[in-house]
Copies of this chain bind each other. A is one copy, B any other.
Amino acid sequence: MSKVLVLGHKNPDTDTIASAIAYAYLKEKMGMDTEAVRLGEINNETAYALDKFGYGAPRLVSRVSEEVKQVILVDHNERQQSADDIQEVQVIEVVDHHRISNFETADPLYFRAEPVGCTATILLKLYKENSVEIPQEIAGLMLSAIISDSLLFKSPTCTDQDIQAAKELAEIAGVDAEDYGLAMLKAGADLSNKTLEELISLDSKEFEAAGKRFEVAQVNAIDTDDVMNRQKELEPLLERTIADKGLDLFVFVATDILNSNSTALVLGKEADTAAQAFRTELQDNRLEMPGVVSRKKQIIPVITEAFKG
């Protein structure tokens, strides 16, 4: 059988990288020839996790069809978040925890999505269902993924299953989830070495709803003012991205990981629609989002509903 690439989404976060590694390993143990790859740069948080558990980053690719016929997607399903040439290969499996959209196949496939906080939580089940033991360093990466996606269990996306999975994985990995987790999140929230371009693209995802195209970028920070103080430099960059990609809306979210609040910069011709969706008005293009930390659960559905009318 020829090789199958296992890939997460563009602008990879810790879950996408850890899940690509963990699922590629599991499928390899089940007899498939796999390789984990990534579609973008490793962020500070993920670099911290990889370093901590002594694991190398997956190989960087942007296209896949020149080297394989089949791929497995983890932590995403929407085609605009995947490899540029995803339509030219066969997706044989998906393991994900996001909404399903812009995804279709000609043939039946294995598609395992569950409404939990992290792909790694589902992968832990798959390891058990297939009776494969999790190596210590992969358990550490999977734990890192859960901590990252759940903001150390504080996000509303975090379920009991995620907390339970993190407990089991921390034990295998031999670390204290809280201590290690806070250190990892802080490493990720260190934005001092980031250019403005990096800030808006590090963890950014494109979406479509009711014919509108929008992008939502999110950065974690210890102090959101560090980010928002750069508003006047950020705005022209966002405007250019909107023009280049033909977007209707760009929402740039800075999340205070210690207090679980967010502030967003909102630009594009649907900016007011977005603000209204959050039952408030833009002040100098800014939107205060108290209690909001989850793009998936607290931002995307709200904007999607607003567009669908």
A259: CB under 8 A from chain B? Answer: no
* Shortest beta-carbon distance from A1 to chain B in Å: 15
What residues of B have a CB within 8 angstroms of the CB of A103 in the complex?
A: 100, 103-104
- CB-based contact A101/B105 at 8 Å: yes
Stretch among A32-40, A61-69, A107-115, A244-252 lining the B interface: A107-115
A interface residue numbers (CB < 8 A to B): 97-115, 129, 209, 296-297, 300-301, 304-305, 308
What are 10 A-B interface contacts by the 8 Å CB criterion?
A: A97-B108, A99-B105, A99-B108, A99-B109, A100-B104, A100-B109, A110-B113, A110-B115, A111-B112, A112-B113
- CB-based contact B106/A99 at 8 Å: yes
Top-9 shortest CB links A-B: A111-B113, A101-B104, A108-B115, A106-B304, A99-B105, A106-B301, A100-B105, A110-B114, A107-B301
What residues of B have a CB within 8 angstroms of the CB of A115 in the complex?
A: 107-110
Assembly CA distance A115 to B209 (angstroms): 29
Assembly CA distance A102 to B105 (angstroms): 10
Assembly CA distance A308 to B88 (angstroms): 12
Assembly CA distance A209 to B110 (angstroms): 21
Assembly CA distance A106 to B301 (angstroms): 6
Identify 4 new A-B residue pairs, CB closer than 8 A, beyond the known A106-B308, A107-B301. Answer: A97-B108, A100-B100, A111-B111, A111-B113
What residues of B have a CB within 8 angstroms of the CB of A296 in the complex?
A: 108
In chain B, what residue has the closest Cβ to A78? B104
